[in-house]
Structure formats: C-alpha cells, structure tokens
Amino acid sequence: MRRWNLIGQRRRLYGLSAGLVLVAVLALLWNAASGRPPLNWGVDFTGGTLLNLRFASSDVTTGRVREAVAPLGLGEAIIQQTPGTSDISIRTRPLTPAERNRVLETLRTRLGPFTVLSVDDVGPKIGQELRNIAILGVVIGLALQVVYVTIRFRSWHFALAADVALVHDVMVVVGAYALTRATVDSSFVAVLLTVVGYSINDTIVVFDRIRENLSLRTREPFGELVNRSILESLVRSIGTSLTTLLAIGAVYVFGGPTIRDFVFGLCVAILTGAYSSIGVASPLLVDLAASAERRAEGARVAVAARAKAESVAAGGRRLRRRS
C-alpha cells in the first residue's frame, strides 16, 4: 500500500502554516488600522457599567434579560443570576446616564417591576498587572517546557520544534478571534491554556512514537522514520480530535450565546493543535536534525582537511631536514 509522504511535502506544510500566521497578523493590523481594537475586548478587559437588579417576578431568567437588552446595542454583556433568587447582575460596556435609563426602562417594560440595588462604574476585571503576569507565566512555561522536553527526549531539537508549533497555535487562535470579532473576555485565558495543553499533548504523542522507532535502530533515513511515526499515530490523533470536537460542537449548538465564543475558541484550539503536531513540529524536527548533521559533516571535513594539511607540512619538514 502506498504511504503518504507528509515529510516530503513539508515545504507546502510550512507554506500553509506561514499563511495561517500571516492571516492572523493581517487581521490584527487591519482591525487596528480601521480604528478598532485589534481584538474585541470584553468588559472583563475594558471595564464598564455594572447594574444589580432585583426583579419582583421569580420567572425572570438570564436568557429573558439577554433577549430584552439585545436590541439596545450593549455589546457582549455579561448577565448573571444569583442562584435561588431573582437578583440579576448586568455587566456591560461603559454606559452614559441616558443609555442606563434606556436599559432600565426597557427591562421594566418587558420583564416587569424591579428594584435597582446598585449602579456602578467598574474597572477592568483583568487589569494590566494581571495581563503582564499572564504573559510572564506563558514565557516561563515555554522555558520550562524546553527543559522538560529536552531532558525527556535527550535533544533540544524536540523542544524547539514543540515550542514553535505551540507559538503557531496561539497565533492561529488569536487570529481567529480577530477575524470573527469574537469577544475576548476572561474565558479567553482558558482557551489559551487549552491551546497550550492540547497542542503539546498531541505533539508529545507523535514524538514518543518517533523515539520508540529510533530505539529500534532501523537503517531508514530519519525523515522516513518520522513520516512513518506520524502515520502510525495519525489514526489516534484524528480520532481523539474528532470525538472532542463532536462533544464541544454539541455545546456550541445547544449551550446558548453566553459561552459560544468560548466554545468557538476551543474548537479552533483543538483543530490547530492536531494539525501543528503533523504540519509544524514533526517537519521542523526533521530539518533541525538535517541541519545538525550537515554541521557535523562540515566539522568532520574541516578536521580531516586540517589533519591532511598538518601531515603534508610534517612531511615537508622531514624532507628539508634530510636534504
């Protein structure tokens, strides 16, 4: 049976991966050039207005409140209900006094009377300091991952390939949010963590198969060995990704609008994580190994040439002494 030569097509895979990252960067730049934020930051990042209301009717739900305020252009409001009560909190973008009055009047007309418990202007839930800590945490995590993968596979090539694939996946997910203008709120942090976990997990599965095949000490070239390892683990990777996507897809369809952007990010994370282990990490590992082999061969040639030159020089000195 003819086997797919994925490693032989790695230049095309590199082109596809570079194209995805380029689209992500262009989407961010286009949004910025259009006078919009590069990402559609939610109120967790931007701050806004917080309305705490207590409805007289116990039949009021977050879904009914969302339907009532949807025509008012509040953006992706965060609407929560205190369990066992009719207390509703609505967190929106910053509202002017006129906009607040319009929201309250609309709710009173459509859902019945309520008591205003509080109306506050709140700062961003995720502040600049927390964002800096998150970035620092990602950088430290990548560094520790390099150390761990290097020790486990006894080669820094594996670690570098895995990290490049991980950065690729993060960029693709960010680009997907920029293109679709999906809301970036606190759940986005969970999406990025899913990217990191799922991507490295799928990559390690393929790398483990490569290591197992290397231990067999076959005579096949490294590129062919990596290609065979990918094909041996391909069914498992596809099966795992598909079953996960089916479960998350059901949540996307039936889970309601409040978590739709979050589930969308998870779907993109799973797809790009499954792809990058095959289309980025494994081909890069082959090229890193080939580059190291060329450097080693060049060093051997240089040593041999130097030894030959020294031998010729020594022979010349002996001839001069005899003469």
Is 7-35+127-298 CATH 1.20.1640.10? yes
Asked if 271 contacts 241 with a C-beta cutoff of 8 angstroms, the reply is yes
Digit-coded pLDDT (tens) for 14-26: 999 999 999 999 9
Alpha-carbon distances, residue 141 vs 13, 108, 155, 170 (angstroms): 27, 49, 18, 14
Instruction: Please tell me the chain's helix, strand, coil percentages from 3-state DSSP, rounded to the nearest 5.
Output: 75, 10, 15
More confident residue, 83 or 21: 21
3 state DSSP class of 122: strand
Q: Is the confidence at residue 109, as pLDDT, over 70?
A: yes
Mean pLDDT: which of 54-58, 101-105, 154-158, 184-188 is highest?
101-105
Residue that is written with structure tokens 């240089």 in the block: 302
More confident residue, 247 or 140: 247
Digit-coded pLDDT (tens) for 260-274: 888 898 999 899 988
Residue 170 has phi, psi (to 5 degrees) of: -60, -40
Q: How far apart (Å, rounded) are the C-alpha atoms in residues 114 and 88?
A: 10
Q: How far apart (Å, rounded) are the C-alpha atoms in residues 197 and 129?
A: 24
Residue that is written with structure tokens 């960067």 in the block: 25
Delimit the domains of the chain by residue range.
7-35+127-298, 55-122
Digit-coded pLDDT (tens) for 303-319: 777 777 777 666 666 66
pLDDT, mean of residues 160-167: 89
Task: Tell me the pTM.
Answer: 0.77
More confident residue, 281 or 45: 281
Residue that is written with structure tokens 């116990």 in the block: 58
DSSP state letters, 136-190: HHHHHHHHHHHHHHHHHHT-HHHHHHHHHHHHHHHHHHHHHHHHHT-EESTHHHH
